[in-house]
């Protein structure tokens, strides 16, 4: 059987199917690294040249997710190693969570739940979600799904990113600070890399403004987290819904505020999404070793 390596424990949705087909090794210790031909891991795994040097026969990195900001793609390309992700299968669930976080912040759902559980009943007034101007940073599959869900609520939908999309009617705002200034709610759905690390900084948060809400279901890397903490503490923005953080699973106590809804990076954590992700991760490996392009090939 072809030897494959996972650097962390495999989810139960994925492990049985992999073990039926491949010689699976979990953790580098004791694994036959010179023989390993595939590397499997979640979207937050790190793959750098030092690791690749230890895996001379590696042919494919199969990500169980869509994140790949910790993977040195230039190093893979230089070695002819394929990179595949579980694209599209978690889009709907991540977009659902993004909308849920937004509504939870605007209507104080989490804060009011805590109040009722503690015996309270009288709570501060919340804010209407309908009619707000919605900005989406990153109009890939997930960004589009968020925008489509938000549109029936929105006064206007705007988006930003690398380029305008000719097949959508929403307004394109190329500059992120300008997008924030034009939005009441700013959703982050962009892929993260070294080029946009900390792109949501103090200036962007100031532009979002005292009535603005930030929703992040992309990567914590996109946000200057100390600047976000300061903006929430000072009232520079009204609130935030966060599924991702700078140093997971560490969440600063300063984010434990009634104006913030916290979520444990659970965008794809549904039975349906995890089953589909596992099936696609296996399909990516099977296709590659059968001499065909993986369905989730990242080009």
Catalytic residues: 219, 248, 265
Nearest to residue 91, comparing CAs of 50, 38, 145?
145
Please give, one letter per residue, the 3-state secondary structure of the chain.
CCEEEECCCCCCCCHHHHHHHCEEEECCCCCCHHHCCEEEEECCCCECHHHHHCCCCCCEEEEECCCCCCECHHHHHHHCCEEECCCCCCHHHHHHHHHHHHHHHHCCHHHHHHHHHCCCCCCCCCCCCCCCEEEEECCCHHHHHHHHHHCCCCCEEEEECCCCCCCCCCEECCCHHHHHHHCCEEEECCCCCHHHCCCECHHHHHHHCCCCEEEECCCHHHECHHHHHHHHHHCCCCEEEECCCCECCECCHHHCCCCEEECCCCCCCCHHHHHHHHHHHHHHHHHHHCCCCCCCECC
- What is the spatial distance between Cα 119 and Cα 174, in angstroms, rounded to a whole number? 47
């Amino acid at each position: 059987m072809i030897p494959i390596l996972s650097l962390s424990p495999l989810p139960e949705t994925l492990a049985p199917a992999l073990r039926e087909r491949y010689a699976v090794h979990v953790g580098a210790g004791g694994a036959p690294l010179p023989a390993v031909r595939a590397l499997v891991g979640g979207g937050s795994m790190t793959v750098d040249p030092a690791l690749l040097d230890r895996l001379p026969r590696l042919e494919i990195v199969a990500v169980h997710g869509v994140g790949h900001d910790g993977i040195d793609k230039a190093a893979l390309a230089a070695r002819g190693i394929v990179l595949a992700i579980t694209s599209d299968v978690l889009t709907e669930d991540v977009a659902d969570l993004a909308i849920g976080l937004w509504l939870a912040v605007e209507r104080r759902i989490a804060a009011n739940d805590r109040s009722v559980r503690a015996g309270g009943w009288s709570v501060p007034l919340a804010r209407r979600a309908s009619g707000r101007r919605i900005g989406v940073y990153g109009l890939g599959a997930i960004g589009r799904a968020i925008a489509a869900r938000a549109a029936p609520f929105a006064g206007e939908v705007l988006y930003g990113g690398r380029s305008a999309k000719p097949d959508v009617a929403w307004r394109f705002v190329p500059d992120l600070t300008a997008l924030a200034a034009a939005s009441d709610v700013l959703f982050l759905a962009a892929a993260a890399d070294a080029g946009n690390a900390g792109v949501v900084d103090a200036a962007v948060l100031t532009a979002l403004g005292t009535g603005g809400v930030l929703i992040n279901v992309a990567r914590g890397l996109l946000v200057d987290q100390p600047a976000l903490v300061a903006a929430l503490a000072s009232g520079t923005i009204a609130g935030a819904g966060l599924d991702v953080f700078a140093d997971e699973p560490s969440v600063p106590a300063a984010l434990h505020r009634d104006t913030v809804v916290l979520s444990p990076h659970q965008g794809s954590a549904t039975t349906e999404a995890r089953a589909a992700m596992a099936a696609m991760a296996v399909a990516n490996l099977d296709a590659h070793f059968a001499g065909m392009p993986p369905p989730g090939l990242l080009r």
